[in-house]
Amino acid sequence: MFREKVPADWLPKVMTNLPAVLVDHAHLERKAATSALNLEKYRDLFTRVEELNAIAIEELQHFQLVLDLLKRRGIPFGQPYPSPWIAGLMKSVRSGQRHQVIDHLICCSLIEGRSCEKFQVLAKELKGVDAELAAFYGSLVESEGNHYATYLLMAKGIDEAETSRRLDFYLELDSKLIREPNPLPMLH
């Protein structure tokens, strides 16, 4: 689906900074939970509130799992750093009722999709290096993949043609943004 590969310097940066990446991951799951809740403000999603709650609960459970990992490893929870990639996507969310909800859903979908993709890469790379972390990332892949699909289907359920147009726009934007260097050890 994505038009641009994750840059080659991402994986070594993450592998050599795993404690910081785990703290970033904790915040990513926290933000994923709040994003699911934030989507509940849109009129077009009032009928999907329970599904969104279910996603928020799942993300909160992921957040707790990362916190447990941090504790077991003696890594202190720390401050969040903004992701230029996520900020770049969200900056292009248009205002106007229907435009906003569709753009917001597509952004959430792409964030989940990139997480799913990167967790898969990490699960593979960590095998033999850190079995516990490898298994952990492997266990999250399906869930984030489902979130990606659910958000996209929610957008299509509101307006299929508009969603296709905007998905095209956002995939182009993603290809540009993902190539911009981010020296911080972050998932996104």
Residues forming contacts to Fe ion in the complex (CB under 5 A) are 29, 32, 59, 62, 112, 144, 147
How far apart, in whole angstroms, are the C-alpha atoms of residue 92 and residue 72?
39
Min CB(188)–Fe ion separation in Å: 12
Give 1 or 16: the residue with its C-beta nearer to Fe ion. Answer: 1
- Quick one: which of 162, 139, 140, 163 has its CA closest to 151? 163
CA distances from 126 to 18, 120, 131, 187 (A): 10, 10, 7, 15
CA distances from 26 to 21, 67, 101, 109, 121 (A): 9, 7, 26, 19, 18
| Contact between 102 and 162 (Cβ < 8 Å) | yes
Give 140 or 179: the residue with its C-beta nearer to Fe ion. Answer: 140
Min CB(145)–Fe ion separation in Å: 9
Give 118 or 166: the residue with its C-beta nearer to Fe ion. Answer: 118
Min CB(172)–Fe ion separation in Å: 23
- Please give the DSSP secondary-structure letter assigned to residue 107: H
Min CB(50)–Fe ion separation in Å: 17
